């Protein structure tokens, strides 16, 4: 049974990475579904006084979010290699942040949970990835703490 448990983090990392990497073909090719989602979010943000926030060159554009998903996926997959295991927690942390934003925008903006008439699949997958990343953060918390303390020591060395 213990052999099974040691593969759980890898399964969670691969699952999350597949979802992230699959979404990149929509974000990086400016697919109409992506235009609809980010266009709706940009209109909502413009109504709050932040026009262009989700536009093609905005701070939270599809390219910025897609790039964060690509970095998270890379770190999650690199963390499968034993010598790079500490990176898996960092990838999960980035993934959790991205998915927290996605879930929040689905729930608390006019976007809704079914913006593309897919039966809410996009929202459900975001929730599944969020849970997977949270589990990975808990699983890799020791490595994450060591990574953060190492960065803190490097920054505050003087």
Please tell me the distance from the alpha carbon of residue 92 to that of residue 76, in angstroms, as a whole number. 7
Please tell me the distance from the alpha carbon of residue 106 to that of residue 123, in angstroms, as a whole number. 7
Please tell me the distance from the alpha carbon of residue 119 to that of residue 112, in angstroms, as a whole number. 11
Number of domains the chain is built from: 1
Mark the ranges of the chain whose per-residue pLDDT is less than 50.
Answer: none
pTM of the model: 0.91
Q: What is the pLDDT of residue 83?
A: 93
Helix axes 8-27, 121-139, angle to 10 degrees: 140
Q: What is the pLDDT of residue 135?
A: 97
Q: What is the pLDDT of residue 1?
A: 61
Closest by alpha carbon to 24, among 34, 32, 35?
34
Residue 35: give the domain boundaries: 2-155
Q: What is the pLDDT of residue 115?
A: 84
């Amino acid at each position: 049974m213990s052999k099974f448990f040691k593969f759980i983090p890898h399964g969670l990392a691969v699952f999350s990475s597949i979802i992230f990497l699959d979404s990149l073909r929509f974000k990086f090719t400016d697919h109409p579904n992506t235009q609809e989602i980010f266009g709706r979010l940009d209109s909502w943000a413009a109504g709050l006084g932040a026009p262009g926030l989700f536009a093609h060159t905005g701070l939270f554009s599809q390219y910025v979010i897609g790039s964060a998903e690509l970095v998270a996926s890379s770190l999650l997959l690199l963390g499968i290699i034993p010598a790079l295991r500490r990176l898996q927690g960092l990838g999960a942390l980035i993934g959790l942040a991205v998915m927290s934003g996605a879930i929040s925008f689905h729930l608390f903006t006019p976007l809704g949970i079914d913006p593309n008439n897919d039966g809410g699949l996009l929202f459900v997958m975001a929730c599944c990835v969020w849970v997977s990343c949270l589990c990975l953060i808990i699983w890799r918390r020791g490595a994450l703490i060591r990574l953060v303390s190492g960065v803190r020591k490097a920054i505050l060395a003087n």
